[in-house]
């Protein structure tokens, strides 16, 4: 797919994210219906299921993915891929500033009856955003080594499955509404697709200053 198509898709994701945000701010009835359906889909709640979801959701937390991203950056730097190290680190850490900005702007309270002790605001989901960026980063790094169509399809399916599982865990634990996790997904896709359109320019600039 041409670069312009990816940018267009990223912009569309951004527009859908803004639509979610304004609907949340207006307390739109359709958002309430979506959120209620999200909680219904995660039923029933059991002690065993809660323990599993707490473990899964921890693997999608910024507190976990942040250090993992730093390790990945060090590995890329050690392999003399300074540009990729800086770029993919920025995609995660600079990108997360968007999450903080929107959380503190919308200030949506988290759902009641939470199964995980957590503070802060609900919209959008930081776990979803961080997981999407991390999964896309891993796929981008592995893609040149996945030569066959089936291996690329498998990698994409595993990545998508993991993202959906993190989204499910956040709603199950009642720390996010369904609209929060979908908004986190849309924001991450928008950031990834639009920002990555400038990757080549960044790499060229980095090469120039290293001469």
pLDDT, position 6: 81
Whether the bond into 198 is cis, omega within 30 of 0: no
Enter the pTM of the model.
0.91
CA nearest to 191, candidates 139, 130, 138, 104 = 130
Range of the domain at 146: 3-209
- Rounded CA gap, 172 and 49, in Å? 9
User: What 8-state DSSP symbol labels residue 81?
Assistant: -
Q: Where are the strands (E) in the chain, listed by range?
A: none
User: What 8-state DSSP symbol labels residue 192?
Assistant: H
Residue 207 structure tokens: 């090469």
pLDDT, position 2: 62
pLDDT tier for residue 115 given thresholds of 50, 70 and 90 = confident
pLDDT tier for residue 210 given thresholds of 50, 70 and 90 = low
Mean pLDDT, all residues of the chain = 91
Give the mean pLDDT of 2-8: 76
pLDDT at 1 over 60: no
Q: How many CA atoms lie within 13 A of 92 on its CB side?
A: 29
Q: Work out how many domains the chain is built from and give that number.
A: 1
- Rounded CA gap, 39 and 54, in Å? 16
């Amino acid at each position: 797919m041409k670069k312009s198509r990816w940018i267009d898709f990223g912009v569309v994701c951004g527009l859908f994210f803004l639509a979610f945000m304004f609907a949340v701010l207006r307390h739109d009835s359709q958002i309430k219906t979506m959120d209620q359906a999200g909680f219904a889909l995660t039923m029933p709640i059991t002690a065993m299921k809660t323990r599993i979801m707490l473990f899964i959701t921890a693997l999608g937390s910024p507190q976990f993915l942040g250090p993992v991203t730093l390790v990945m950056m060090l590995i890329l730097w050690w392999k003399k891929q300074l540009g990729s190290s800086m770029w993919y680190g920025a995609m995660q850490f600079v990108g997360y500033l968007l999450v903080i900005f929107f959380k503190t702007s919308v200030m949506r309270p988290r759902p009641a009856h939470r199964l995980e002790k957590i503070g802060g605001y609900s919209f959008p989901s930081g776990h979803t955003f961080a997981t999407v960026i991390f999964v896309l980063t891993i796929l981008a790094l592995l893609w040149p080594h996945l030569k066959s169509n089936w291996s690329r399809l498998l990698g994409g399916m595993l990545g998508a499955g993991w993202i959906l599982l993190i989204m499910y865990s956040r709603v199950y634990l009642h720390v996010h509404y369904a609209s929060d996790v979908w908004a986190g997904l849309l924001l991450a896709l928008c950031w990834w697709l639009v920002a990555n359109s400038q990757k080549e320019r960044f790499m060229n600039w980095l090469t120039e200053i290293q001469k």
